[in-house]
Amino acid sequence: MTRTLAPRDLIDDATCREATPILEFVGRRWTGAIMLALGRGATRFGEIEAAVDGLSARLLTARLRELEAHDLVEREVVPSTPVQVRYRLTPRGRDLLAALQPLMAYQLRWGHQESRTTG
């Protein structure tokens, strides 16, 4: 049985326009995977890099800076020898990761069909 959404259940145009920047940001390559790695407990640069197969150190550095600039990730410098740097999701980042879970579930259910129609 196909479920049809009533117009009242759909996001209006103004809300859709407001959501576009964050959707484009999290849709950038590696951003979601980095957030997922952090959500699963990776805190150090090397742990994140190891958790995201194919991600270069240069691009990880750039994405972490972008995530920090959007207040989604927090960077903590631990004064030790040698100095340690740890990353963690901010409350805002945890909220966004939770909001992405239904999209990930959609991909698991329908993604194989998407690749046939887009590739």
Name the token pair of 46: 């090397």
Q: Which residues of the chain have pLDDT under 70?
A: 1-3, 114-119
- What top-level class would CATH report for the domain 24-114? mainly alpha
What kind and span of H or E run contains 50? helix 45-51
Task: Say which residues have a Cβ less than 8 Å from residue 86's Cβ, sequence separation at least 6.
Answer: 43, 44, 75, 76, 78
For the chain, domain boundaries: 24-114
Phi, psi angles (nearest 5°) of residue 33:
-65, -40
pLDDT confidence of residue 118: 55
Q: Tell me, what amino acid is at 51?
A: A
pLDDT tens-digit map of 38-63: 999 999 999 999 999 999 999 999 99
Report strand pairing: 73-78 vs 84-89: antiparallel
pLDDT confidence of residue 116: 56
- Exposed, middle or buried by CB within 10 Å (0-12, 13-18, 19+), for 37? buried
